[in-house]
Structure 1
Amino acid sequence: MVMQTSAAPAGPLRRMPVQGRSLARVHRMLDACAELVDQVGYDGLTTTLLAERAGVAIGSVYQFFPDKRAIVQALTLRNLDAYLDRLSKRITDGQLHNWWDAVDAAIDEYIAMHRHVPGFRTLHFGDVVDVHLLDEERDNNVVIVERLGSLLVEHFGLRDEPRLRFNLAIAVEIADGLIKYAFRRDPDGDELVLAEAKSLIRDYLHRHVDSEQAG
């Protein structure tokens, strides 16, 4: 399963593709990047390798991207959008009835990306490259917290307070660390570790978010 959106990735592109063929070529480059980072790692990735894998001229790569960091940044942003789109769809489809169900779903989708999305278990949401890959001024996990927090506030009526963002930040850091640990223990993700991660996060957020929102 490859989670991919049809829209052009934003941010690191030198110019936006305006024709369907150009957009398809950019996505081929990102798909090639995802495959290569799993095989050779970020350090081994080169624009030459990427052009060969994507079946494009090296000039086409530089037409849209200044360097390999920008390509990885675009791939990471595409993955983030796909992750949030899938989570939003589960919420709007009525599959999730409470905010803690949405938290469970957020963890499940993150695990699914590790298992099924090429390049994701190598790059995650960019920390391997730069802790500010998603946003020059904020840590990658802070960006995730802001986006998740907005979903919870919009769809479940939680009060948008600094304490909520703080609690979500703690939960995201715990989840990120334990899920990475689970995939170091087992290529498919150690189920015992993943279950503990979900239990810890649910208990933590119930204890803190419920009490804060009730106060």
Structure 2
Amino acid sequence: MSDRPNGQPSVTVRHEPVQARAAQRVEALLDAAAAVVIEHGIEHLTTALVADRAGASIGTVYRYFPDRVAVLVALAERNLERMRHAVGRVLAQPHETWTDATDAVIGAMVDTFREVPSFRSLRTGEGLDLGPVARQEVAPLFADVIAEYVAERWGIELDDERRDDLVLAIGGLDALVTYAFLHDPHGDPRYLALGRMCAMQHLTAAFGDPVAPDDPRDGAPVT
């Protein structure tokens, strides 16, 4: 006869702790992958190196990632999410002008390069060779975020041409910031300044001439 009341099963399935442990294990494996990428480069990352760095078995790595490409994609996705959060935090603030807002975004972008070492070599994975499956372009993604912010904050609506200028501003900035960190872990200030200058040209074309905060034309598109 069972000594369990009401016929309860002997083992209670507890999904949340299991999921939490799995998430922690994945994070640990990605931390190990990031360390391998920093020390050896993307091209030398292997599942065996990830397992060794994480102090885990190779079977544990394969439980979550079928091959090295899957590891790199997951690490790139995590990098992208960290950039999303960084940009989201600064755009949660009520900036006075669009130049204040975009300067804050640029600052968040640069901080991500400085604070997430694997970002400097892998970034969001756009350069990964995934065969027929290409990684999503990041510039249009962040263009959508910034366009939504300026539309809600200042009522600036972008047509296709102005949106193209915004995408070019973000893409060009990304390229120059990436180069700034190629040999300098703090970011070569010359290329960071050049990136901002080039971005401002296209941002002005998209949003209008920067004006004083109390000017009623603030943020008005150029006509």
Query: So what's the TM-score if we normalise by structure 2?
Result: 0.75
In the alignment, what sits opposite 2:4? none
Give the SS at the match of 1:120: helix
In the alignment, what sits opposite 2:42? 42
In the alignment, what sits opposite 1:29? 29
Shift of 1:155: 4.7
Shift of 1:121: 0.4
Quick check: 1:122–1:128 contact (8 Å CA) kept in 2?
no
Quick check: 2:173–2:195 contact (8 Å CA) kept in 1?
yes
**Bigger mean CA deviation after superposition, 70-79 or 38-47:** 70-79
Distance 1:115 1:156, change over 3 A: same
Query: Is 1:102 paired with 2:101?
Result: yes
Give the SS at the match of 2:127: coil
CA distance in 2, matches of 1:20, 1:82: 19
CA deviation string 1:172-193 (max 9, x = no partner): 2211221122223534211122
Letter in 2 for 1:113: T
Give the SS at the match of 1:119: helix
Q: How many residues align?
A: 197
In the alignment, what sits opposite 2:157? 159
Give the SS at the match of 1:19: helix
Distance 1:180 1:66, change over 3 A: same
Query: Is 1:86 paired with 2:94?
Result: no
Higher RCO (C-alpha 8 Å, min separation 6): 1
Instruction: Give the counterpart of 2:193 among 192, 195, 201.
Output: 195
Distance 1:112 1:54, change over 3 A: same
Structure 2 unpaired stretches of 5+: 1-16, 210-219
Give the SS at the match of 1:127: coil
CA distance in 1, matches of 2:142, 2:33: 22
Quick check: 1:126–1:140 contact (8 Å CA) kept in 2?
no
Distance 1:93 1:145, change over 3 A: closer
CA distance in 1, matches of 2:149, 2:80: 14
Quick check: 1:183–1:190 contact (8 Å CA) kept in 2?
yes
**Bigger mean CA deviation after superposition, 201-210 or 72-81:** 201-210
Distance 1:165 1:59, change over 3 A: farther
Instruction: Give the counterpart of 1:183 among 181, 184, 189.
Output: 181
Shift of 1:99: 2.5
Letter in 2 for 1:127: E
Quick check: 1:34–1:119 contact (8 Å CA) kept in 2?
yes
Query: Is 1:111 paired with 2:110?
Result: yes
Letter in 1 for 2:86: R
Letter in 2 for 1:117: V
Shift of 1:138: 4.0
Distance 1:118 1:180, change over 3 A: closer
Give the SS at the match of 2:192: helix
Give the SS at the match of 2:181: helix
Quick check: 1:132–1:139 contact (8 Å CA) kept in 2?
no
Distance 1:58 1:157, change over 3 A: farther
Quick check: 1:30–1:71 contact (8 Å CA) kept in 2?
yes
CA distance in 1, matches of 2:143, 2:172: 12
Letter in 2 for 1:107: I
CA deviation string 1:46-71 (max 9, x = no partner): 00110111222222222222222222
Query: Is 1:204 paired with 2:212?
Result: no
